[in-house]
Amino acid sequence: MTQTNATTSNQAPLTAMPMLGTGTFRLKDNAAFDAVLMALEEGSRHIDTAQIYGNEQAVGDAINASGIPREELFITTKVWTENLTKERFETSVIDSLTALQTEYLDLLLIHWPLNSDEPSMVEYLSELKAVLDKGLTRRIGVSNFTNAQLAQAIAILGEGVIYTNQVEVHPYLINRKVTDFCRQHNVLVTGYMPFAYGAVLQDETIVNLASVHQATPAQIVLAWLRQLGFATIPSSTKRDNVRSNLAAASIKLMPAEIEQINQLDRNHKVANPDFAPHWD
């Protein structure tokens, strides 16, 4: 997928976003530190966190402990809903940078759209664009936006500015309306919860394909996401799983096998808090 990215003129070339990243949702303190350091040791270079996860300091400590040059890493965080006002937005981003021990982010997302007009989308997307223009982040995007909300965001910021829409995607929830709309507007889809809390890893179709390819069910799901053109950010606290996930890059599914997995779609959403938008 070709991406157009807005950056300030004095920045170094953009680091490409690895399509397979390391998620940190639900990881705290030492567990977050250990998981991120382990992932980096195994070769992961894309780390995804968020203000609301409460682990940015631990993630930053792990990145620092790894000794990996900053320019080799791709770091994403997300602005939480309470920080979307003009008064709090940039301050919260600077706090995130401090915790993550970096001068810039590779990607900054609006974590959830608001269901009210206070603050308005114009206000918080203007703040998002402002921190991009100041060089605090190299790319900007959104998360959990419906098609109508994404269309509104594109109208505010212009085509080519929003890099990704991070939404739930796995074999039980392909989210076709949203992913198709993103493709039409050259917005990369980053799928979270790729294993649906492990449910899809027990699916007979996935297990059978894993046997055919001498792979793990997780590797089959990751190969499927990659071949559909989606980035994804699974998390793991086990070194063998991290190593196995990274090795999924060598697996290539046949078109018929991809279609088999597509047929598993059942609109099964596992991330649906009470403040979520009305999904497409």
Strand-strand pairing, 74-79 and 107-110: parallel
Listed in sequence order, the residues at least 6 apart from 118 whose beta carbon sits closer than 8 Å to its beta carbon are none
Task: Give the Cα separation of 145 and 28 in Å (integer).
Answer: 26
Q: Which residues contact 58 (CB under 8 A, 6 or more apart)?
A: 27, 28, 29, 30, 32, 33, 36
Answer whether 246's CB lies under 8 Å from 216's CB: no
Tell me which of 53, 163, 172, 192 is the catalytic residue: 53
Number of C-beta neighbours around residue 65 at 10 A: 13
- 3-class SS at 177? helix
172 is catalytic: no
Quickly count: other Cβ atoms within 10 Å of residue 240's Cβ: 10
Q: DSSP assignment, residue 209?
A: H
Please name the residue that has the structure tokens 């021990």: 101
The catalytic site residues sit at 53
